[in-house]
Structure 1
Amino acid sequence: MKERPINASLPRRAAFTLIELLVVIAIIAILIGLLLPAVQKVRAAAARLSCSNNLKQMALGCLNYESANQKFPIGDNRADLPGGVYQSWQAVILPYEEQTAIANQYDYTRDYDDTVNYTAIANQIKIYNCPATPMQPRLDTTPDEGPKSASYTGKNTARGVTDYWGINAMETWVPTVGGCTGSFPSFSSYQVGNDFDPARVGILCRAAAGVTTFATITDGTSNTIMIAESAGRPTSYGPGGATLGQLNPGEAGWSDPNGAFKFKGANPTTGAVKPHGAAANTCVMSCNNTNEIYSFHTGGSNFAFGDGSVHFISSSASLCVVGALVTRAGGEVAPSY
């Protein structure tokens, strides 16, 4: 067999030049730059949809509870009623939203912070957490707010958190904020400490305001907010998602009845909600997550209504409109949101 000469020319192999390689890398970088925002938008949309589904499950839980008990759960039971048990509405509806395993761990004859409930309240429940909220999963280990059970040990027992809360009432109002006139007669005067005013309370009101039945929701269930997002606790968040530190008490646990709040409006710059009714408190949502509406969705928040429906309301909605939607019997005719 004849051997090929050592110096015989071999066929040349095709290859990218350096310039061609740089061009390809540049094109890939551009495509990634175009794709990433789209992926982020898809993820945000998926998180918002999942959050909406969570609220739907809770709303149905409340309606199933009403069907079984002929009344809605108490939104903020701070042992206001004689012999009352200190527990949250989210604990009460567990059996009505397919969370029977955790409900079976919970002793409903004892306060939520009783030692017998430590195991139950440490559970992190998926439908009580919005996927758009940072730092998942998380627990609340801050001191909880009293009154305490007789068996309370004073330890910072770990509590599974929630991003969703009932709004007890629309607490304060100043007519110069948004000019609430015409369809908003109950907003015509400044009021403080009106947690139990029949025209101002919400569906998941405090025990002392009396139970809520369908008959008491004279504004209509489809026109009344039942559950709102107040996400991120026990971390304190302010305007623009700014982290302000740690809440103490955190009031973040789904079992903690202290977490429910009264809608007031917040300062759009600082997030402050006091003094109540101050003219500067024009921010409707996502300026303060301590005791106000707050979400990590772009442009608004999800809300569950008394008829079981869930709606996304824009952060540009006026205080007048959201305030009207909070009350169950305010007599307002709220415009479209």
Structure 2
Amino acid sequence: MFSWGVRILPYIDQANIYNNLNFSGSTPFVPANFSNTTCLNTVVPFLCPSNPQPDTIVNRNGAFAGALPDGMPRTDMGGVADSVSWKCNSGSGVRPTSVGNGVLYAISKVRMRDIIDGSSNTLMVGEITGSLASSGLNGNSYTGYDVFDTSSGINSIETVPGGGTFSFRPQGFSSYHVGGCHFVFGDGSVHFLSENIDQGTLTALTTRAGGEVVGEY
């Protein structure tokens, strides 16, 4: 299972990495898959210059320590999955699930014709600060779980009540920029959205076929 970040590699001058990936394996980041591990240790241009964090992560989180290779790249971009919160406690053994009313939810197969609201009115990728644990979504940034929702707005701080160590924390979009963060729309355009954007407008921009009237932003 590989994410949108892997699928677009040939189109951002990273064809060598893409061609060396093994797409037939069961899990892309397992230590036994040496070819993929080498590829996944390569930092690609999904980083924001404003983010002060290291370009790669070291996995030292609880039961996951040692399960994933150190040196996997951090990413500052996440797919826009949906407008509904899908936070959960991974300690329960339940992975996050998505209602999938956006474009890039986990294992999505959305085509341009499915974006009925119009590609210029639909979010596709947004900035994330990389504050999640490396054993969480950011550590798996090249698998299918690097997707986020817009239910908590932009630059919000949120925790899962009682989640403890295994809590999936801010599942939303955020950045180190003052006042908001950048999003890529379905037509390829990039817009800076304010953290004060009306939540109804943000929801309308998130859904691909909701039929909402998009307000000013």
How far did 1:297 drift?
A: 0.6
Within 5 Å, give how 1:187-336 maps onto structure 2.
Answer: 195-196=98-99, 201-207=101-107, 211-231=109-129, 233=130, 235-236=131-132, 247=133, 249-253=135-139, 254-265=141-152, 271-274=157-160, 290-336=170-216
SS state at 1:95 partner: helix
Q: Distance in 1 between matches of 2:60 and 2:119?
A: 36
Deviation readout 1:41-93 (Å, 9 max, x if unpaired): xxxxxxxxxxxxxxxxxxxxxxxxxxxxxxxxxxxxxxxxxxxxx22111121
2:91 counterpart residue number: none
Deviation readout 1:174-200 (Å, 9 max, x if unpaired): xxxxxxxxxxxxxxxxxxx9833xxx6
Q: Distance in 2 between matches of 1:295 and 1:289?
A: 15
Q: Distance in 1 between matches of 2:204 and 2:216?
A: 11
1:120 counterpart residue number: 39
SS state at 1:139 partner: coil
Q: Which of 134, 142, 166 is the equivalent residue of 2:79?
A: 166
Q: Distance in 2 between matches of 1:266 and 1:301?
A: 11
> Structure 1 segments of 4 or more deviating over 6 A?
266-269
In structure 2, the CA distance between the partners of 1:268 and 1:327, relative to structure 1 (3 Å rule), is: closer
| Residue type of the alignment partner of 1:260 | V
Q: Distance in 2 between matches of 1:256 and 1:333?
A: 33
Q: Distance in 2 between matches of 1:326 and 1:144?
A: 34
1:138 counterpart residue number: 56
Q: Distance in 1 between matches of 2:202 and 2:183?
A: 11
Structure with more helix by fraction: 1
In structure 2, the CA distance between the partners of 1:217 and 1:144, relative to structure 1 (3 Å rule), is: farther
Identity across the alignment (%): 28
How far did 1:164 drift?
A: 0.1
In structure 2, the CA distance between the partners of 1:304 and 1:289, relative to structure 1 (3 Å rule), is: farther
Q: Distance in 1 between matches of 2:57 and 2:211?
A: 40
Larger Rg computed on CA atoms: 1
Q: Distance in 2 between matches of 1:130 and 1:144?
A: 28
| Residue type of the alignment partner of 2:28 | Y
How far did 1:217 drift?
A: 0.6
Deviation readout 1:213-267 (Å, 9 max, x if unpaired): 1221111000000001112x2x45xxxxxxxxxx252422431322212222169
| Residue type of the alignment partner of 1:103 | Y
Q: Distance in 1 between matches of 2:13 and 2:202?
A: 30
| Residue type of the alignment partner of 1:264 | S
> Aligned-pair RMSD on alpha carbons?
2.9
How far did 1:330 drift?
A: 0.8
Q: How many pairs were matched up?
A: 195
In structure 2, the CA distance between the partners of 1:158 and 1:248, relative to structure 1 (3 Å rule), is: closer
In structure 2, the CA distance between the partners of 1:119 and 1:309, relative to structure 1 (3 Å rule), is: same
Q: Distance in 2 between matches of 1:89 and 1:109?
A: 17
| Residue type of the alignment partner of 1:102 | I
Deviation readout 1:13-33 (Å, 9 max, x if unpaired): xxxxxxxxxxxxxxxxxxxxx
Normalised by the length of structure 2, the TM-score is 0.78
| Residue type of the alignment partner of 2:17 | I
In structure 2, the CA distance between the partners of 1:118 and 1:145, relative to structure 1 (3 Å rule), is: farther
Which segments of 5 or more consecutive residues in structure 1 lack a partner in the other structure? 1-85, 147-152, 173-192, 237-246, 276-287
